């Protein structure tokens, strides 16, 4: 049974808001599939924040992936918290909001101990599904819904990227 999009978004927003005070279960930086769909393909989902998006202070974000090839239930990347401070150095590259925290690495991310960024920092939410069959990545644009949530803003859909072999 497929629920209308507005009900799914409302339900996920309420669920994640209710869990905001609880410790998040750490997940891998990429979501592996369940079942017999394994392979050597991957696909990414992104949400690019506008320039100078973040205000000074503490912020939080979460992501939700709902795809048939990862199983019947959506995978929730619990809330991550970071700080925005005008005294923080500005990274030369984009800072990615990943499943385990902030990083400047797209692949093989290293997570710095300090999760503080400058308000002018370019930021992009990024989530990968890995170990997929070619068929799974070809159907992902039509069958997957991947969302990013932050602070108390409305839920936003993430954009699917081109499939690749890592």
The alpha carbon of 2 is separated from its chain's Cα centroid by a whole number of angstroms, namely: 22
What is the pTM assigned to this prediction?
A: 0.75
Distances (CA, A) of 142 to 15, 67, 139, 160: 25, 9, 6, 10
Sign of CA dihedral 87, 89, 93, 98: negative
Is 94 in contact with 53 (CB distance < 8 Å)? no
Query: Among 18-32, 59-73, 96-110, which range has the highest average pLDDT?
Result: 59-73
Confidence of residue 69 (pLDDT cuts 50, 70, 90): confident
Query: Among 15-24, 25-34, 106-115, 131-140, which range has the highest average pLDDT?
Result: 131-140
Please, what is the Cα angle at 29 between 52 and 88, to 5 degrees? 30
Report which of 165, 121, 128, 123 is spatially closest to residue 144, judged by C-alpha positions: 128
Query: In this predicted structure, what is the pLDDT of residue 88?
Result: 93
Measured over all CA atoms, what is the biggest interatomic distance in the chain, rounded to whole angstroms? Answer: 50
Query: pLDDT tens digit string along 96-110?
Result: 999 889 988 887 777
List Cβ neighbours of 73 (8 Å cut-off, separation of 6 or more): none
Distance between CA 147 and CA 158 in Å, rounded? Answer: 5
Does residue 77 carry a pLDDT above 50? yes
């Amino acid at each position: 049974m497929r629920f209308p999009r507005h009900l799914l978004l409302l339900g996920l927003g309420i669920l994640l808001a209710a869990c905001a005070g609880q410790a998040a279960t750490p997940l891998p930086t990429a979501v592996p599939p369940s079942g017999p769909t394994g392979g050597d393909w991957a696909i990414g989902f992104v949400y690019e924040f506008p320039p100078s998006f973040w205000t000074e202070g503490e912020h939080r974000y979460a992501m939700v992936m709902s795809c048939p090839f990862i199983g019947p239930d959506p995978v929730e990347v619990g809330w991550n918290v970071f700080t925005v401070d005008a005294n923080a150095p500005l990274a030369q590259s984009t800072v990615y909001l990943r499943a385990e925290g902030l990083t400047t690495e797209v692949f093989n991310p290293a997570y710095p101990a300090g999760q503080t960024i400058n308000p002018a920092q370019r930021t992009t939410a990024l989530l990968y599904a890995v170990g997929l069959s070619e068929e799974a990545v070809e159907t992902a644009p039509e069958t997957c819904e991947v969302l990013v949530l932050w602070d108390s803003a409305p839920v936003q859909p993430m954009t699917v990227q081109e499939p690749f072999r890592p």
